[in-house]
Amino acid sequence: MMHINKVFYNFLLIFFIVGFALVAYFAALNIYALPSPVSGGWNDVLRMMFFGTLILITLRYLGLIIFSFLYSLKRSPANQEFLPSLSIIVPAYNEELVIREALSALLDLNYPNYEIIVIDDGSTDATYTLVKQLSQLQSAVRLRVLQQKNSGKSVALNRGILAAHGEIVLCVDGDSKVDAESLRYSMRHFTNPKVGAVAGNVKVANRKHLICKLQALEYIEGLNLLRSAQAFFNAVSIVPGPIGLFRTQAILDVGGYDHDTFAEDCDLTLKLMETGWFIEYQQQAIAWTEAPENLESLLKQRYRWTRGILQAISKHAIRWTDSKRPFALLFWLLYMAVEATLWPLLNLSSFALFAYFMVFTPFGDIYWICWWALLTFLDVLAAIYCIASENEDWSLAPLAVVYRMFFSLMVDTTKLLGMIEELFNVSMEWGKLERKGRL
């Protein structure tokens, strides 16, 4: 790639994508006018439904990409040497395969003034022993380990926050490895007294298997793109568990992490937004996490995410019409509700109808083939933008084709099941993922 200014490169890229999205739009108009081998009023209705779906997906992509791009143009706070005292909180439950790598990365952070507090949440493996051994070898950085009976991640995080001495706390999952320069990129946001938290950039560390590569693309295109777009409005809706920085007093003021959802990170972020804090995003603050390597573990994780997010949304939507609540919170609550409920239904129904017409119309009907090709084309364009903006692995871009045909179908089905079971209040457990030690 040519060594050109990154902002200028992104500027060219955004117009490339907008142009091709418009091409897709007019192509859809022309395709809609094609004769169809299936006649009747219902066919016309279905054509309009599919056409509407294409427009919605195009607008969603363009909206996210444009606001993400605008956020990249925002001037970062000038003070890059703002280095307040920091406490790093690491909740750990049965993390013996990854905890040494995770802590070694934290001990090597390029930051002058911090402590690390590990809360062993009743581990039944060698987690506590490994952390204790590592703490005894350290002198430059204070590393403490606290033990408690297994009480859950939110309880462990709260205990660590109460024991912290730092003005800022960094919450890190026990299976995540933080890049050395992440803190210096992130701390400058806290020079703004309105900023209560900064969300980091989570990436998949283990990319050997196809299912992990698809998750790597999902994190880049699905999660980080949304966060960078939300950051334009200072309203990132989820500060992720693997890397999230918080103003300590802000967390204490809202009562810390609650224990009544399965998405404690989303719940805390919404509580901070509810009280008027800005939530920022820092793309260069990177944490590498171990993604599930088999289908069962992946779907269990997404099921928990879905139900936890729905729990957090319903919890904070109770006072939906409260005029004192920030508009950004209401907007992003509505957006999250749509993404968690209507969007999976739209994707699944579209796929089912596409499959039906491909099977039961002569030659599959060129309209439906072109419609699906346009959707896939938009997926690839979005992947190209996200990969370029993060200087990521270009081999992930072609996987956008597989992503729509396979990965998103599975995840959306899981979201739908999670939504139904949350509606009927079906009991659930946390579902600890099995670690492979792939950091």
Q: What CATH number is attached to the domain comprising 129?
A: 3.90.550.10
**Could you give the percent of the chain with pLDDT greater than 90?**
55
Question: Which residues are CB-contacts of 283 (< 8 A; sequence separation ≥ 6)?
Answer: 201, 224, 228, 389, 390
Q: Which of 76-85, 118-127, 132-141 has the lowest mean pLDDT?
A: 76-85
Task: Verify that 341 and 277 share a domain, yes or no.
Answer: no
Contact 397, 384 (CB under 8 A): yes
Single residue among 265, 293, 321 that ends a domain in this structure: 293
The pTM of the full predicted model, rounded to 2 decimals, is: 0.89
In which band, very low, low, confident or very high, does the pLDDT at 299 lie, cut at 50, 70 and 90?
A: very high
Question: Other CB atoms closer than 10 Å to residue 331's CB: what's the count?
Answer: 14
Residue 32 is predicted with a pLDDT of 53
Q: Which residue has the higher pLDDT, 240 or 75?
A: 240
Task: Verify that 150 and 262 share a domain, yes or no.
Answer: yes
Q: Which residue has the higher pLDDT, 25 or 91?
A: 91
Q: Which residues of 63-100 are buried (b: 16+ CB within 10 A; e: fewer)?
A: ebbebbbebbeeeeeeeeeebeebbbbbbbbbbbbbbb
Please give the backbone phi and psi of residue 319, each rounded to the nearest 5 degrees, phi first: -100, 50
CA separation for the pair 126, 238 (Å, rounded): 31
Task: Verify that 44 and 166 share a domain, yes or no.
Answer: no
Task: Verify that 168 and 272 share a domain, yes or no.
Answer: yes
DSSP 292: P
Domain that holds residue 271: 86-293
Mean of pLDDT over the chain: 85
Residue 18 is predicted with a pLDDT of 65
Length of the chain: 439
Q: Is the pLDDT of residue 289 over 90?
A: yes
Q: Is the pLDDT of residue 255 over 90?
A: yes
Q: What mean pLDDT comes out for the span 187-194?
A: 93
**Packing angle of the helix pair 295-316, 264-274 (nearest 10 deg):** 30
In which band, very low, low, confident or very high, does the pLDDT at 267 lie, cut at 50, 70 and 90?
A: very high
